[in-house]
């Protein structure tokens, strides 16, 4: 069973607007993760809905995210999705939840006075990053809360909320999540 799990390595780097671009950071992290030479990666392309990939390294799966002061990239040998979100104080969770979330999710959040809003946001986004479709599908058309009020759930997948810095939410999505390792660079 353990062999079916996907070990994941998450690289994290301070994010500064105008600093090293996300592409540069991605190649640096990919080198460290894979041990490949920089030239091995070739061109970075995007799928039909914007998910980036290296055509020359088809077995390298990754998911990028940045928010607040952090840039993260998760790597694995199978598809995965990662999302980080700083808790923005000016956001109106109730309004955004009603507008963009599934009714099951909105009801679940309302019962908890929306304190889990950003966890739920990250769970949804990690799922759409896993699928590679982004929010081309309406975010209100799917739910990461089930009819019994369990969260986070998605059929056939694991959504795992990961501890991060105070004031941030972070969620990882994969078929079977194995050990999660962190690397600073």
Partner 1 sequence: MLQLIQDIVYNVTGKQGITYETDFVQDLALNSFDVMNIISAFEDHFDTTIPTREVWHLHQVKDVIDYLAHKGFTQP
Structure tokens at 34: 């894979």
Binding test (CB under 8 A) with partner 1, winner from 1, 3, 4, 17: 17
Q: How far is the CB of 136 from partner 1 (least distance, A)?
A: 5
Does 48 interact with partner 1 (rule: CB under 8 A)?
A: no
Does 12 interact with partner 1 (rule: CB under 8 A)?
A: no
* Residue number, 96 or 180, with CB nearest to partner 1: 96
Cα Rg, the chain, nearest whole Å: 17
Return the exposure string of 1-38: e unless at least 16 CB atoms fall within 10 Å of the residue's CB, then b. Answer: eeeeebebbbbbbebeeeeeebeebbebbbeebbeeee
Mask of contacts with partner 1, 148-177, x by CB under 8 A? ------------------------------
Binders of partner 1 among residues 59 to 118 (CB under 8 A) are 65-67, 83, 85, 88, 90-91, 95-96, 99-100
């Amino acid at each position: 069973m353990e062999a079916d799990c996907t070990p994941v390595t998450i690289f994290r780097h301070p994010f500064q607007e105008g600093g090293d671009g996300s592409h540069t950071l991605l190649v640096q992290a990919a080198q460290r993760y894979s041990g490949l030479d920089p030239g091995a990666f070739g061109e970075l392309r995007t799928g039909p809905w914007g998910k980036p990939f290296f055509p020359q390294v088809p077995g390298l799966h990754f998911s990028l995210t940045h928010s607040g002061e952090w840039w993260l990239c998760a790597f694995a040998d199978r598809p995965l999705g990662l999302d980080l979100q700083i808790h923005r104080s000016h956001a109106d969770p109730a309004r955004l939840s009603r507008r963009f979330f599934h009714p099951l999710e909105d009801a679940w959040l309302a019962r908890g006075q929306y304190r889990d809003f950003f966890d739920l946001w990250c769970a949804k986004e990690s799922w759409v990053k896993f699928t590679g479709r982004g929010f081309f599908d309406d975010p209100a058309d799917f739910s990461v809360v089930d009819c019994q009020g369990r969260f986070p759930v998605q059929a056939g997948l694991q959504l795992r909320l990961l501890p991060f810095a105070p004031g941030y939410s972070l969620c990882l999505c994969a078929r079977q999540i194995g050990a999660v390792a962190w690397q600073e660079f």
